Amino acid sequence: RKTVSIFKQPVTLVHTSSRDSKKGTEQQLKRGLMSNRPQEKPAPVMWAKALENVQALIPTAVADKVDVNNTEYLTESLHLAGRLERASAVLNEQAAAASLFTSIHNPNQSGAFGQSADKEKLESNLLLNVNPEQPLLRPISVIPEDVTAQERRVLDARKRLQEVMKHFG
């Protein structure tokens, strides 16, 4: 039999019915007030599996003048960039990418580092060994070559922007 989740919350007991009762300490009362704050519900571990094979349809015509009957679409799906690898074969690449995007955009998370458990543990029992706070990816590492390649891309984009500004400016 399941109990309602409100009964599982910690309760601070402060007696006030007898004459010799004492007031609750400030720390007890503060703890009671802090526990009433709404907390974010934990997401199911395998929620990203629902996003497998999801595709975006991009209209080839002007977006505000789309004729639903005569429009062609380009399809685009989620994918992992560069050397990122999914943590388990249970999930496909789109589900792993969705978990990464969610962890990056989560304001309560301090960073996305990937799963710390080794591949054998994750393959043996994914639900037991997975860290639900991290994306479902192998540990993410950034090497100096990645940084220099990204810096090169930024410099190239700045040069192209300067040329466009000079041409149209």
Residue 41 lies inside a defined structural domain of this protein: no
Residue 32 lies inside a defined structural domain of this protein: no
Rounded Cα distance between 157 and 169, Å, is 17
Which range among 40-49, 95-104, 115-124 shows the weakest confidence by mean pLDDT? 40-49
Residue 17 lies inside a defined structural domain of this protein: no
Residue 54 lies inside a defined structural domain of this protein: yes
- The candidate with the shortest Cα–Cα distance to 137, out of 82, 77, 76, 93, is 93
Residue 145 lies inside a defined structural domain of this protein: yes
Which is more confidently placed, 65 or 126? Answer: 126
Which regions of 17-167 does DSSP assign to beta strands (E)? 55-59, 73-77
Q: What is the pLDDT of residues 130-165, one digit of tens each?
A: 888 888 889 888 899 999 999 999 999 999 999 999
Residue 24 lies inside a defined structural domain of this protein: no
- Can you say whether the dihedral through the CA atoms of 75, 80, 82, 85 is positive or negative? negative
Residue 111 lies inside a defined structural domain of this protein: yes
Residue 22 lies inside a defined structural domain of this protein: no
- What local confidence, expressed as pLDDT, does residue 23 receive? 67
Q: What is the domain range of residue 116?
A: 47-156
Q: What is the pLDDT of residues 34-88, one digit of tens each?
A: 555 556 666 677 778 888 888 888 877 776 666 667 777 888 888 888 888 888 8
Given a cut of 90, whether residue 25 has pLDDT beyond it is no
- What local confidence, expressed as pLDDT, does residue 124 receive? 83
What total number of domains does the chain contain?
A: 1
